[in-house]
Structure 1
Amino acid sequence: MPASAPLPKSARRPRPATDYDVVIIGAGSAGLSAALVLGRCLRRVLVCDGGAPRNEPSPAVWGFFTRDGVQPSELLRLGLEQLAAYPSVEVCSLRATEITASDQCFTIVADTEASRTRSITARKVLLATGVEDELPPLDGMREFWGHGVLHCPYCHGWEVRDRALAVYGRGKGVTGLALLVSRWSKNVVVCTDGPGGLTNKARQRLQKQGIAVREEPIERLEGTEKQGLQHVLFKNGDKLVREALFVHPHQHQHTNLAEQLGCRLNSKGAVWTDKKQQTSVPGLYAAGDTTAGMQQAILAAAEGSLAAIMINEKITKEECV
């Protein structure tokens, strides 16, 4: 038989039995959306729920079609409730700690709530573990995170429209964010907490939109639990009245699972995927904030749905050789 000729079916290695068709690591919008689609495809699915999502501190999820203003915990409760209709989908409180790949399946090691270790095999894996925000080490930044300190004007701009707003950061990043935020309010001040590294062109663009720049070092953010953010206090004693502050913090992956498998990452540490949500590792997919791009719950859900469809079609092709 010529070396290039395909092996007859009888000579091909049988596909090893696995515990699940797909293991989804992460039970946020992306993971639960993917589980819903795969459940409707009659796939055996395990969702590893590793804990609270990134948006837990936020009072609501905004801009989510039919769920505008729903609390993050309620959105996930509804998602889990609807998954109960699909018997092939299992959701467990598991924190995946290790993942290895063979030529035909993945092995996931996870910790249970009872501090026991569980080993699971799957044909495909979807990473929907999200990211963690690295907030600037400024007093008050963490305390007001999700309330007075906000990350996305598309998510929160409407709620603080026409109010006194601040944008925190430096350089090109803070310029772009400030110009965007100024679409929701004409009272916007850039706070760079020291020299801002702004070019003359950036300063001109900000000035043209009526955006002031304060480069004094900041002491802390002030406010109360009931009233929220009230002031930006500078180290020179000046107080700037502000009702909300926008910041784009640095982020890192919530887990190192992608790194364990040698996944390709972009320059900002996001997991690279192709148009089918496939990572650089065959059989491993990613969706939601784990990947590059805009970060919104509804976009994460959409990516999860797309990933699930691509996974099901890939498995189908493997089954129908």
Structure 2
Amino acid sequence: MIGRKIIRLFGGRMLVIALPIPLSLIGQYNNKMNKKDFEVIIIGGSYAGLSTAMALGRSLRETLVIDAGKPCNRQTPHSHNFLTQDGSTPKEISEIAKSQVAKYDSVKFYNGLAVSGKKIKKGFQITTSSGDIFTGKKLVFATGIKDIMPDINGFSQCWGISVVHCPYCHGYEIRNKKTAIIANGERAFHLATLINNLTQDITIITSEKKDFEENQLKKLKQHTIQIIEKEVSSIEHTNGQLKSIVFKDGSAASFECAYASIPFEQSSNIPNELGCEFTESGHIEVNFMQKTTEEGIFACGDNSTMMRSVSMAVSSGNITGAMVNHELTQENF
């Protein structure tokens, strides 16, 4: 059943707009499905996974999307820098995407967590936390990453709201504000070069002794970017909106927003179990076709690139779907 919204126009005419299909009413979202064998299993049902699924659905490939429903950007109030969806919430984009992918009968959805995987004669076997087992000829990891929050009180509550990672995703919305960069060395300098075009009030907080080259320090000074070599103790905020940064020596400085560079880990350990190799930065290693180092396994989205955005996830997922279909076509033709 599709929801409808009726808008009355001038002259008495009415416009009927179809709304996204509620997930509870979509038959494909049935964990009690009888089908267990698929051509492709996609682990992760956010932007990259759904983009992969759409390409495969349009190619009539029997595809299963396994998703635990916990995207890393679920706290972010709005998504930006993505054509046609600029300013939408992550949830809105996801629900529209799911309703569109669900129209392709060959794509099925499983709500749950994939916990283990192994290679079998005809491809791969995936087991979920509920004990359900599925097999697929090809395997796609669209599992994303987990941000590792620092031991700073208030940081996680502000993450994705007023403490952000990317000027392309969030910079316009926090332009001209008093801005902190919580990072050091090359990463801090890189962020400063990008943010300098968005605000003239920038302070770098290194949390330890500053680690910049002489030419970098000269550049920062030229742009009146201050450096504070103090360790952050907590962030004072109101509903995720940063008010001030408190340091371990008891002092504090007022800010309206901050950029931060924090570590991450893979959301799923299954790629490691199956022998996939990783880059020095911790991403799953893929080639230009999104193929991992293991035959028959692909990866897309945040788990395999430093370019972390909704648009990049959708793009890499679309490429993945096409490449997976190409491999299946070559093997079956």
State whether structure 2 residue 68 is matched by structure 1 residue 54: no
- Among all aligned residue pairs of Structure 1 and Structure 2, give the percentage whose two residues are the same amino acid: 30
Aligned partner letter, 1:72: P
Match of 1:68 in 2: 86
Moved more, 147-156 or 231-240: 231-240
Going from structure 1 to structure 2, the CA distance change for 1:264 and 1:30 (only over 3 Å counts) comes to same
Moved more, 94-103 or 82-91: 94-103
* 1:64, distance to aligned residue in structure 2 (A): 1.2
Q: What is the CA RMSD across the aligned residues, in angstroms?
A: 1.5
CA contact (8 A) 2:38 2:137 kept: yes
State whether structure 2 residue 54 is matched by structure 1 residue 32: no
CA distance in 2, matches of 1:26, 1:87: 19
CA distance in 2, matches of 1:135, 1:183: 28
Instruction: Please give the per-residue CA displacement for 1:183-203, whole angstroms capped at 9, x wherever unaligned.
Output: 211111001122122232221
CA distance in 1, matches of 2:151, 2:196: 25
Question: TM (normalized to structure 1)?
Answer: 0.90
State whether structure 2 residue 287 is matched by structure 1 residue 269: no
CA distance in 1, matches of 2:247, 2:216: 23
* 1:221, distance to aligned residue in structure 2 (A): 1.2
Aligned partner letter, 1:204: K
State whether structure 2 residue 308 is matched by structure 1 residue 295: yes
Match of 2:102 in 1: 84
Question: TM (normalized to structure 2)?
Answer: 0.87
Instruction: Please give the per-residue CA displacement for 1:206-243, whole angstroms capped at 9, x wherever unaligned.
Output: 112221111123232112117x1011122344332211
* 1:135, distance to aligned residue in structure 2 (A): 2.2
CA distance in 2, matches of 1:233, 1:98: 42
Moved more, 175-184 or 152-161: 175-184
CA distance in 2, matches of 1:108, 1:219: 42
Q: Which residue, out of 310, 313, 316, partners 2:329? A: 316
* 1:256, distance to aligned residue in structure 2 (A): 0.5
State whether structure 2 residue 187 is matched by structure 1 residue 169: no
CA distance in 1, matches of 2:211, 2:81: 33
State whether structure 2 residue 203 is matched by structure 1 residue 189: yes
**SS of equivalent residue, structure 1 residue 143:** helix
Write out aligned runs for 1:1-321 (5 A): 19-111=37-129, 116-225=130-239, 228-320=241-333
CA contact (8 A) 2:78 2:89 kept: yes
* 1:204, distance to aligned residue in structure 2 (A): 1.2
CA distance in 2, matches of 1:109, 1:18: 11
CA contact (8 A) 2:36 2:133 kept: no
Unaligned runs of 5+ residues in structure 2 are: 1-34
CA distance in 1, matches of 2:40, 2:321: 9
Going from structure 1 to structure 2, the CA distance change for 1:196 and 1:139 (only over 3 Å counts) comes to farther
**SS of equivalent residue, structure 2 residue 155:** coil
* 1:18, distance to aligned residue in structure 2 (A): 7.5
CA contact (8 A) 1:169 1:196 kept: no
Aligned partner letter, 1:192: T
Instruction: Please give the per-residue CA displacement for 1:255-296, whole angstroms capped at 9, x wherever unaligned.
Output: 101100111100111000111111000000000001023110
CA distance in 1, matches of 2:306, 2:212: 25
Where do 4+ consecutive residues of structure 1 move more than 6 Å? none
Aligned partner letter, 2:160: G
CA distance in 1, matches of 2:123, 2:247: 56
Unaligned runs of 5+ residues in structure 1 are: 1-16
* 1:74, distance to aligned residue in structure 2 (A): 1.0
